[in-house]
Structure 1
């Protein structure tokens, strides 16, 4: 595979079908837009199907849309910091960086007021309370977010499990029940490991709740409940820095909502958990 994805598309261009050439033309003319799109968004812009997009990617040597999109973002950035924080410049000093990073983060958290659906939060909270078992899935950076949710729900005394190993996730999902709640965390909503596990869980009619940044992603389409974690898509951030912080805020929102809804019962569980942990401290 050529190092440059744009060169790769151009060299393969004559071997593409007319539909695939249309996809290549769109990507080459608007790469800054493509890095913000889920695969379904790109398919819509090119007036084609997700399946056709996948065929195009395989034709040029990519097995994953996420990898392809990251590669485009990296090449657009041309070794600058723009792909991480668009407003940051190469010559910024530490004081300027501090102010810009903090402002980007606080602005993004403020944006949650506009993108979090209160009805979806209520549904999420009620499903947690009703579930026979709560099963949390997350891989990569999302593993840490799912782990934080696991810690908080365990502290509250819920019957909860957490897994980040793709093989184990699939096995757990295969044996889950209709009364279970699957909580899938994925910034892109396109992680194959998460999608596979969710597919297995859906076969058993388990409820799927997702925390993701893209409303048109594959995970969102498979979910019964969706909490969106980002609206700041002006630049593609490969490590989802802003989304990660917002997802932690969402976990805290669910945590506090549960405590307020169930009251004394959960407060007692919190105290028990704290005492248990205190045993390990000197």
Structure 2
């Protein structure tokens, strides 16, 4: 994942990583924000924001803003994002559609293409793809499994929590890939899965809404997708688009195998239509 700023994650506390993540997503707004504004939106204390600048190598907020002007980090895509944020919608549907367009654009801008291509490579080569999709991401995991199974790709979902997770981990092999959905915060189960995958080693792919996170270090591949700010309603539109893009990309790579499996599926439906009608 390519960040606008070069954060040293190893030296930052969890609170400082939250501040860094906020700045990464709001570089275009930063020139107009005070420390009080940042603290309110992260949220954290003003004192924590004040200490943050020195932790990342700057004297204060003014010094950091000066560095942004010098490096020209305010991009056209982020300016467009800022414009979407300021639109006063006349109705809920219009507002939701505009926000969805913003999330998709943000995802397109920040999701590193080389990471996406690497994820496709690893999933195509995998013997089995294990998927960990807890909580609100459960539907995304089910979608990924359903679509890829149609192509003849072996996909298994992992238990969302508890000791049953170990029953699946024990079957991991170096020829497998694990796909982890990790939104908002890193769950203990996510840490266990990534730690064990690294130990085997087994390739790991994380789909997350955090630009600044320990996941950037712990996983082999990190795919960013925007769901909105921490304090907003979290949309699953952009994550769904990323999942569907993975499915199509994998299908293109194994086209003959995928089409052959779909033809067998259609033949089965036709053969047993009198038993299980559509």
TM-score range, shorter chain: 0.5 to 0.7
Instruction: Give the corresponding residue for 1:17.
Output: none
Instruction: Give the corresponding residue for 1:128.
Output: 123
Contact 1:214/1:220, CA 8 A, preserved across alignment: no
Q: TM-score, normalised by structure 2?
A: 0.65
Q: CA deviation at 1:128?
A: 0.9
Contact 2:119/2:205, CA 8 A, preserved across alignment: yes
Given the alignment of the two structures, is residue 271 of structure 1 paired with residue 266 of structure 2, yes or no? no
Deviations 1:72-95 (A, max 9, x none): xxxxxxxxxxxxxx7798xx8xx6
Q: Distance in 1 between matches of 2:190 and 2:160?
A: 10
Instruction: Give the corresponding residue for 1:255.
Output: 247
Q: Distance in 2 between matches of 1:267 and 1:155?
A: 9
Q: Distance in 2 between matches of 1:215 and 1:260?
A: 28
SS in 2 for 1:188: coil
Gaps in structure 2 of 5+ consecutive residues: 1-12, 20-34, 57-84
Q: 1:32 aligns with which of 36, 40, 43?
A: 40
Instruction: Give the corresponding residue for 1:203.
Output: 199
Q: CA deviation at 1:217?
A: 1.9
- Counterparts of 1:44-193 in structure 2 under 5 Å? 47=55, 96-166=91-161, 167-193=163-189
SS in 1 for 2:172: coil
Contact 1:173/1:198, CA 8 A, preserved across alignment: no
Q: Distance in 2 between matches of 1:224 and 1:277?
A: 39
Contact 1:213/1:229, CA 8 A, preserved across alignment: yes
SS in 1 for 2:226: coil
Instruction: Give the corresponding residue for 1:240.
Output: 234
Q: Are residues 265 and 205 of structure 1, via their aligned partners in 2, closer, same or farther at CA, if it must alter by over 3 Å?
A: same
Q: TM-score, normalised by structure 1?
A: 0.64
Contact 1:184/1:194, CA 8 A, preserved across alignment: yes
Contact 1:108/1:246, CA 8 A, preserved across alignment: yes
Q: Distance in 2 between matches of 1:266 and 1:128?
A: 14
Contact 1:149/1:251, CA 8 A, preserved across alignment: yes
Q: CA deviation at 1:97?
A: 0.9
Contact 1:213/1:231, CA 8 A, preserved across alignment: yes
Mean CA deviation greater in 223-232 or 163-172: 163-172
Aligned residue-pair number: 211
Q: CA deviation at 1:259?
A: 1.8
Q: Are residues 45 and 177 of structure 1, via their aligned partners in 2, closer, same or farther at CA, if it must alter by over 3 Å?
A: farther
Q: CA deviation at 1:46?
A: 8.0
Contact 2:228/2:234, CA 8 A, preserved across alignment: no
Deviations 1:78-136 (A, max 9, x none): xxxxxxxx7798xx8xx611110111112221333212222111111111111121100
Instruction: Give the corresponding residue for 2:30.
Output: none
